[in-house]
Amino acid sequence: MTAPAPSTSTETAGGEPAPAVELIDIDKSFGAVHANRDVSIRIAKGTIHGIVGENGAGKSTLMSILYGFYEADRGAIRVNGRPVRIRSSKDAIAAGIGMVHQHFMLVDTFSVIENVMLGAESGMLIQGGIKKARAEMQRLERDYGLSVDPDAVIGDLPVGEQQRVEILKALYRNCEILILDEPTGVLTPQETDQLFQILKALKERGVTVILITHKLREIMAITDTVTVMRHGAVVAERKTAETDREELAVLMVGRKVRMAPDRARARPGEVALGVAHLGLTDAFGVKRLDDINFSIRAGEILGVAGVSGNGQSELLEVLSGIRPPTTGVMHMLGRDVTADKPCSPKRMRRLGVAHVPEDRHRLGLVTGFPAWESAILGYQRDRAYGFGPIINTAAAARDCGKMMEAFDVRPQEPNLGSAKFSGGNQQKLILAREMARMPKILLVGQPTRGVDIGAIEFIHRQIVAMRDEGTAVLLVSVELDEILALSDRIIVMFQGRIVGETTGDRADERQLGLWMANAHADGPEAPPPGLPPLLAPELSSRSGKPGGRPGALPPGMKIRPRK
Amino acid sequence: MNATPAPMPRWLEIFGLPLVNLLMAMIVSGLIVLAIGENPFAAIGAMAAGAFGDLYGIGYTLYYATNFIFTGLAVAIAFHAGLFNIGGEGQAYIGGLGAGLMALLFDHSLTMWPMLALGLVASAVFGAAWAFVPAYLQAKRGSHIVITTIMFNFLAAALMVYLLVNVFRVPGSMEVVSRDFEASAGVPYVHALLTAIGIEMPQTPLNLAFLWALICCGLVWVYLWRSRGGYELRTAGLAPKAAQYAGISPNRVTIEAMLISGALAGFLGFNEIMGNHRQIVLDFVAGAGFTGIAVALMGRNHPFGIILASVLFGALFQGGSEVAFEIPTITRDMIVVMQGLVILFSGALAYVNRPLLEKLWKLYQARKNAKAAAVVAPVSPAAAPDAPVALAEETATLAATPAAPEPEALETTPMPKPAPVEEVLEVVEAEIVTMGPGAEPPPAAPRRKRGPKKSKRKPGEV
């Protein structure tokens, strides 16, 4: 996509200009964990350099060393050819290094300008600093096209703009080397495009960008060079133009991976879960869910796409019984659940509703428990674990061992603390627990968030296998690839409403992305330019009402029209 | 693996840290004793002799410990549910009222064992009832349990004064106490039982309630770690959201935990009223409800730890009064200061010494690694003299991974004996000695914390 011209030309110029960043034999251990093994990377000035690897490959540790959170056990760092010693983020900033973290470090109640100058107020009184910051921000906007209203309050800004503020913060501190840690995890495809525009502008002005990600698509789209890490070591360096996604994927995991699981066509049966006019209003009177209508049949997967925070979490909470709905009705396996007739998570489980929660650390398991105790969470009253008030710990541990074996949870030690398992293994344990009792409805939230590629493949296969067994699956994910790979039908949520619906085989990324950003909420009849022909007739056949339900429903589905 | 969050093995955290804290408290106490011109070692000696020197001392120590076990368990069980029950004082007071009330009502009509059983149940029910109100308010109304339980301590105190003055006081008497119970409402004394089987023991208030306290420890352990209710309680305490997810009602857990907590605190009243005083008196709790917080903290909210901590605090109480008796310049108030210091160091400052201990542990680990390196690659140090440390570390990780005594393995077993570690240390040092000067242990290592024998050997070779 992007021509690798700048980097090659400077390197072949012969004058050997010093690389912006040079990491030489960086080695770092945490106890017995060898996080970085003799990592050496050269990053040429004014390029976008990607670092890819699975979770736990050591990318973040490496960047934390560069940004001064950790000090390397061994090795050297050179910035612009000069050896530097970076012992704190202060040293890093002094060396011209800036970092945009995965979770933003912003004060929500402060304005943009206050956040930008935070920690660099220049002087006792704030007024002079603000004036200076304002002038500087105008210059940055001029130079890089980074436009953000300096007086807007951070909490009111969309995530994409918050991220821009983070970049502004770094540039305000005169950074020439910008590290971005998984910057696109929270962005819509459109916001991601905007971010990439900004990064390209930065590159043109000579800023060196280091992009940490595990999304290969982004690497291919924007970087000039890419370093692949595995098990703490660099396994390959490539010019982006000379490689492709498949090669990088193989390098990352050390073997071939299939990008999407093989799956047969769904053979849907009876409607297992039907939802009509479902609404949820929170304590502040904000509508978290607004007139949600859908149904899932046994043996099919309904994907719920959307940028996080648009009601998907609340939908899972309501469907699993954690929160009762405020309006509407859920028909679950022949039982009606409403605000007046709520159904506790305990009863839901008894009905045959299993729930793999989005937040596995706080909901899915108890990090302070050994694995076997987490493996009975929600089923602690199950007769399988003994009669009466006492838990048969041997039976529970045996069960946990069986789950671990079936789902390849490593290490296979039921007595090991839940927190000591990696994210992927924790997730596999939770899936094993929820799938063990052959639920009729399976609610799955972000099944592969923070999970490495090998485990993703396994988890996807398990979800499809459950579907083939006749379970109705509701899959909530912010990863479009995942939604597209698994879903038989897809709905898209935006601000608590369903704004789009399509079938799995007809869905395309671009259309879903537009729905996720609600980009055409006011004029659904006018399909955005460049829409693939496959979807165009569908769009034009829609009701015509603004915000009307797009996409054709599969035959036999009855959903009441929106008001 | 000793990764960043928990570089110390658990046994060190559980046993080492409280011991270090205790030591700090003793050092500061010693300095205070020194400041008033007394010999701190004599004071400590007198204290130990007073607490454990004879059966009389032991009897009193265990009698105090009984109270602390009950209140410590009460605090611990609430803590596991994520609640901070500061109302042990009041719950114990009201528990005593329950036991006393039963005794006053039925001591003429019932024989001993039914009477005692009734008193035991009544103390639990009354204590639980006193804890129920704050629990209910927390669950249904969101009133913070710390505030309400504290207030209920004052309510209990006022109520007891009223009842004793206006209801229980023997007419015509100036003393604010109830009438003495009949013999049937007295828990058998341990000294009486021992004398009956031929062991001479002086008279102390130690009674069979101590046995019940130990049984309660076992029951609490089973409840917390082996029962469904305890599982749900701990889930709600550790991860409230996970509890909700699992269909556990947080309100039910709050009320259940506080009922059990209150009942346990109420047993203190049983020990005091039917075991010791054998009449209803004022202020018999005497701060044990608050000491229970320090006991639970020091005992890590584990029944076994609570027994140990309770005996320690019992010894402080009993030994303290002996010291005040034997060394007149060390007054009763000084003893209170010392007890306060123990609570300060093991309670409020419980984790202050953690970094220190962690550092020592790391030094020890570094030595162990050096030893492993010496075993695996005895020739390499000479080959690469400029990077011995890094080399040693690398080979150490290689060598250590398959080796057995990984700290992780230690962590999974509940309480491994610290003894083998010392043996290992001995071996480590032997290895260091055998290594040549080129194979120095990592630079941080040669600070020592061990006995004099090894220290003497060291200066020669470093």
How many helices and strands in chain B, by DSSP H and E?
A: 21, 0
Residue in chain B nearest A347 by alpha carbon? B247
Query: A425: burial class by Cβ within 10 Å (0-12, 13-18, 19+)?
Result: buried
> Taking CB atoms and an 8 Å limit, are A391 and B234 in contact across chains?
no
CB B99 within 8 A of CB B274: yes
Complete domains list, chain B, with CATH: 14-348 (1.10.3470), 355-451 (no CATH)
Residue of chain B whose alpha carbon sits nearest to that of A371: B412
Residues of B in contact with A389 (CB under 8 A): 227-229
State pLDDT tens for residues A82-97.
999 988 888 998 999 9
- CATH code: domain A271-487 is 3.40.50.300
Note the pLDDT tens digit of each residue in A41-57. 999 999 999 998 776 67
State the angle between helix axes of B55-80 and B40-52 in degrees (0 to 180), rounded to the nearest 10. 90
Cβ(A461)–Cβ(A438) below 8 Å = no
The verdict on A37 touching B (C-beta cutoff 8 Å) is no
Cβ–Cβ under 8 Å, residues A483 and A475:
yes
Q: List, for residues A139-152, the tens digit of each pLDDT value.
A: 888 888 778 888 88
**Average pLDDT estimate for A215-241:** 88
Helices (H), A254-363: 312-319, 345-351
Interacting residues of B263 by C-beta distance below 8 A, sequence separation 6+: B95, B124, B125, B127, B128, B131
Question: B415: burial class by Cβ within 10 Å (0-12, 13-18, 19+)?
Answer: exposed
Q: What pLDDT was estimated at residue A173?
A: 87
pLDDT reading at B246 higher than 60: yes
Phi and psi based region of residue B46 (left: phi greater than 0; alpha: psi -120 to 50; beta: remaining): alpha
Whether chain A has a CB inside 8 Å of the CB on B228: the answer is yes
* Residues B198 and B314 sit within 8 Å (Cβ to Cβ): no
**B281-303 per-position pLDDT tens digit:** 999 999 999 999 989 988 889 99
**CB A289 within 8 Å of CB A280:** yes
Spatial distance between the Cα atoms of A385 and A373, rounded to a whole number of angstroms: 11
The second-level CATH assignment, the architecture, of A5-253 is 3-Layer(aba) Sandwich (3.40)
Q: Do B228 and A364 touch (CB under 8 A)?
A: no
Q: ipTM value of the model? A: 0.71
**pTM given for the model:** 0.70
Of A74, A349, A362, the CB nearest to B390: A74
Q: What is the largest CA-CA distance in chain B?
A: 97
How many CB pairs lie under 8 A apart between chains A and B? Answer: 97
Which DSSP string do the residues of A401-455 spell out, in sequence order? HHHHHHTT-SS--TTSBGGGS-HHHHHHHHHHHHHTT--SEEEEESTTTT--HHH
Long-range contacts made by residues B116-123, C-beta under 8 angstroms, separation at least 24? B116/B185, B116/B187, B116/B274, B119/B185, B119/B270, B119/B273, B119/B274, B120/B212, B120/B267, B120/B270, B122/B98, B123/B95, B123/B96, B123/B98, B123/B99, B123/B266, B123/B267, B123/B269, B123/B270, B123/B273
Does A393 lie at the interface with B, CB-CB under 8 angstroms? yes
Q: List, by residue range, all CATH 3.40.50.300 domains of chain A.
A: 5-253, 271-487
Q: Across the interface, do A34 and B412 touch by the CB < 8 Å criterion? A: no
Q: Which residue of B has its CA nearest to A414?
A: B412
Binned at pLDDT 50, 70 and 90, residue B238 comes out as very high
Lowest mean pLDDT among A528-537, B8-17, B193-202: A528-537
* Residues ≥6 apart with Cβ < 8 Å to A481: A259
- In this prediction, residue B375 carries a pLDDT of 65
- Interface check for A368 against chain B (CB to CB < 8 A): the answer is yes
Question: What pLDDT, in 10s, does the model give residues A105-120?
Answer: 889 899 998 898 887 7
**Residues B4, B9, B13, B16: is their CA dihedral positive or negative?**
negative
Residues B265, B88 contacting (CB under 8 angstroms): yes
Q: Do B245 and A364 touch (CB under 8 A)?
A: yes
Residue A14: count other Cβ atoms within 10 Å of its Cβ: 6
Question: Please, which contacts does A199-203 make with residues 24 or more away whose CB atoms are closer than 8 Å?
Answer: A199/A48, A200/A2, A200/A48, A201/A144, A201/A145, A201/A146, A202/A144, A202/A167, A202/A178, A203/A6, A203/A46, A203/A47, A203/A48
**How far B249 CA sits from the closest chain A CA (Å)?**
9
- What is the per-residue pLDDT for A546? 37
**Lowest-confidence pick of A300-304, A305-309, A424-428, B62-66:** A305-309
Distance CA A77, CA B74 (A): 56
- Those of residues 249-308 in B touching chain A at CB distance below 8 A are 249
B229 vs A: CB within 8 A: yes
Q: For chain A, say whether B406 makes contact (Cβ under 8 Å).
A: yes
Q: Which of A490, A505, A489, A467 lies closest to A299, judged by CA?
A: A467
pLDDT of residue A479: 79
CB contact under 8 A, A369 and B222: no
- Cβ contact B242–A363 (<8 Å): yes
Residues of A in contact with B242 (CB under 8 A): 362-366, 377
Q: Which residue of A has its CA nearest to B408?
A: A416
Q: How confident is the model at residue B110 (pLDDT cuts 50, 70, 90)?
A: very high
Predicted local confidence at residue B7, as pLDDT: 63
Chain B partners within 8 Å of A347 (Cβ):
247
**CB-based contact A30 B4, cutoff 8 Å:** yes
Burial of B386 (0-12, 13-18, 19+ CB in 10 A): exposed
Of A150-154, B255-259, B379-383, give the lowest mean pLDDT range: B379-383
B238 touches chain A (CB under 8 A): yes
Q: Which of A64, A314, A390 to mutate to test the interface with B (most CBs of B within 10 A)?
A: A390
The tokens describing B113, both together, are: 């064992």
Q: Report the pLDDT averaged over residues A22-30.
A: 89
Chain-chain contact of A346 with B222 (C-beta, under 8 angstroms) = no
Q: Place B197 in a pLDDT band, splitting at 50, 70 and 90.
A: very high
